[in-house]
């Protein structure tokens, strides 16, 4: 699975379902950043995180207007931020809970590439 997992300021690019499940078991807040949603990722978002199927389906489709949907235990957001180069904005989908944030985007988003040290 492509993406990055950041737990306690340590980022791993070798993201697997076992590592994500371990992060969910721990008390630490974590961030999972994904460059899109394929069938494997969609299943993991539904099964491992328990995200509502409609929210996962929305994360598979880009070209959406900004929105905020409140689900039991998490919020789902579609936001547009300033883009680089010729793209005026970058669309980012977020699943946000008290314990984690999961971001999904197709294009490079410099705001999501912040320095883990500050």
Bigger pLDDT: 112 or 69? 69
Q: What is the pLDDT of residues 38-87, one digit of tens each?
A: 999 999 999 999 999 999 999 999 999 999 999 999 999 999 987 666 66
Alpha carbons within 13 angstroms on the beta-carbon side of residue 39 total 0
The DSSP letter of residue 98 is S
Contact 32, 44 (CB under 8 A): no
- Helix (H) or strand (E) segment spanning residue 80: strand 74-82
What confidence tier does 2 reach under pLDDT thresholds 50, 70, 90?
A: confident
CA neighbor of 30 nearest in space, from 22, 38, 39: 22
Instruction: Report yes or no on 70 lying in a domain.
Output: yes
> What pLDDT shows up at residue 31?
94
Domain count, the chain: 1
Contact 49, 34 (CB under 8 A): no
The mean per-residue pLDDT over the stretch 89-105 comes to 94
CATH number, domain at 70? 3.30.460.20
41-59 in b/e burial notation, b at 16+ Cβ within 10 A?
Answer: bbebbeeebebbeebbebb
What confidence tier does 98 reach under pLDDT thresholds 50, 70, 90?
A: very high
Instruction: Report yes or no on 118 lying in a domain.
Output: no
Report the predicted TM-score, pTM, of the whole model to 2 decimal places.
0.87
Domain range holding 9? Answer: 4-113
> What pLDDT shows up at residue 99?
93
């Amino acid at each position: 699975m492509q993406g990055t997992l950041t737990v306690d300021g340590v980022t791993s690019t070798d993201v697997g379902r076992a590592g994500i499940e371990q992060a969910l078991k721990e008390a630490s807040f974590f961030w999972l950043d994904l460059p899109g949603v394929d069938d494997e990722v969609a299943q993991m978002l539904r099964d491992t995180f328990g995200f509502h199927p409609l929210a996962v389906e929305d994360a598979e489709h880009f070209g959406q207007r900004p929105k905020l949907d409140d689900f039991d235990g998490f919020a789902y957001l579609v936001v547009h931020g300033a883009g680089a180069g010729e793209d005026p904005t970058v669309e980012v989908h977020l699943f946000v809970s008290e314990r984690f944030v999961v971001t999904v985007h197709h294009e490079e988003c410099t705001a999501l590439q912040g320095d883990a040290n500050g």
